[in-house]
Amino acid sequence: MHHSLKLYSRYRELALKYYIFQARWTRIPLIGRLVRKVANAYGKNVSAAYLLNLHEANEIVDSSDGLALGPCTCRAVFKNCDNPINAEIIVGLSRNIFMEGRPHDYREITKQEAKDILKQCHQNGLIHTIVHWQHDFYAICNCCSCCCVPLRLLKKYGVGNALVREDNIVEKLKERQFSQP
């Protein structure tokens, strides 16, 4: 588990606000292209989200060591809609970092509860993503198009590496999950 995930978990609201603040710079003539290039490199190497379908999200839940439910940080910060806030499923060992830092925000859930949440979010038209920080995949986020930071970075500011689709993301996650001590 990468140590910076603990720091990120503590300050992710500020990080999301900063991402959107910085993304606005992509619209400034002369420096916009440079900002977009740096943001894409950051998305590729540090933090990004991978778009999932419902089947893939359920597969990740099935292969997870443990699960916790907490607030979708994007909706908690930006509050652009009335979709439910508690829709982020922390997967595997990452849940310990998030629960330790914010015990009042998270609760352990079963795999069936997670699948029920995924199904309900899917029926509500929310998108499923697996989010990573550095080398750790830490959460399945179920977000809306109006609050989702990775989606907004992609659609509104042209940061293509903020939200990507990879057909083998479940296998990639499993490899990483089982190769760590």
The predicted-structure confidence for 28-43, as pLDDT tens digits, reads as follows: 988 999 999 999 898 8
Distance CA 27, CA 89 (A): 33
The predicted-structure confidence for 98-115, as pLDDT tens digits, reads as follows: 777 777 888 899 999 999
**Which domain, by its residues, includes 131?**
4-179
- Tokens matching residue 38: 């740096």
* CB-based contact 61:91 (threshold 8 Å): yes
Kind plus residue range of the DSSP H or E element containing 88? strand 86-91
Q: At what angle do helices 149-157 and 32-45 cross, to 10 degrees?
A: 150
Each of the 181 residues of the chain gets a pLDDT tens digit; together they read: 456 777 777 888 998 999 999 999 999 988 999 999 999 898 888 888 999 999 999 999 998 888 999 999 999 999 999 999 999 998 876 666 677 777 788 889 999 999 999 999 999 999 999 988 777 788 899 999 999 999 999 999 999 989 989 888 888 777 765 444 4
The tally of domains found in the chain comes to 1
